[in-house]
Amino acid sequence: MISTTLVPCLTCNTMFQKRTIDVNRSKTGHHFCSYKCVDAYKSKNGTTRVKCITCNADVVRRNAEIKKSKSGNNFCSKSCAATYNNKHKTFGTRRSKLEEWLEKKLTTQYPYLDIQFNSKQAIGSELDIFIPSLNLAIELNGIFHYIPVFGNQKLSSIQRNDSIKIEECIKHKIELLIIDTSHMKYLTEVRVTPILNQICKLIESK
C-alpha cells in the first residue's frame, strides 16, 4: 500500500494527499495540488509555463526571457531550437526559399520556356537558373558568397567556384546574371518581387 501524507498547496492552501516519499524528497518543501496552482505560483514569481514550438512539450521560462524573444518562439532544448531554425531559415540551405519561390513563379509565367533549376548540364557546375534556348544563366548569391559565415577557408572555396562558373559561362557563350541576395534573411513578397521583375525583364528582352 502506498503511504500518503496530507499537505497544504502553496498557492491556494488547499489540503491534499501526496505520496509520503515525494514529500520527503522535496528539497524546497513546496507542494501544489494542480498544474494550475504551479503555473499561478511560477507566474507570480517571474516565470510562465509555455509550449515548445517544435515538440509541444511544456517548458518553464522566465518572463524576462519571454519578453526579450524577438520571434516569440519558445523551445524546450537546443535540439528543438535547431530543428525549427533549420526548417524555417531562408539561407544556408541546399535550396533556398527564394529559389523555390522563383521556380514556381517563373514556370507559371513562362510555361513555354525550358527553365532548368540547379542543373549541371550546361557547364558541369550547378547553375541556380538556366534557360538553354536563351543561353541565359542566373545565380542567386546569398550571404555566404561574400562573408565567411562558415569560415575563411569555406568562403575562399565558394568564391573560387563562383569564378570558375563565370569562366565556364564565358567559354560556353552563356550570359550570366549574378544577383546579390546577401541582404535577404527572410523571404517576403516585397523583398523578392524586385528580383523576379529583374529576371523577367531580362528574359523578355531576349
Residue 115 is classified by DSSP as -
In order of 14, 73, 104, 142, 152, the CA distances from 49 in angstroms are: 22, 13, 41, 38, 42
Q: What is the pLDDT along the chain (206 residues), one digit of tens a residue?
A: 678 888 898 888 899 888 888 878 877 788 888 888 888 777 676 777 788 888 888 887 777 777 777 667 888 887 777 667 655 554 444 567 889 899 999 999 999 999 999 988 899 889 999 999 999 999 999 888 999 888 888 889 889 999 999 999 999 999 999 999 988 877 788 889 999 999 999 999 98
Domain ranges of the chain: 4-88, 97-204
Instruction: Specify whether the CB–CB gap between 138 and 180 falls below 8 A.
Output: no
Which of 112, 111, 84, 116 lies closest to 99 in space, CA to CA? 116
Cell (9 digits) for 108: 507559371
Residue in the block written with cell 548569391? 141
Residue 113 CA to residue 106 CA, distance in Å, equals 9
> Which CATH code is given to the segment(s) 97-204?
3.40.960.10
pLDDT of residue 67: 72
pLDDT of residue 54: 80
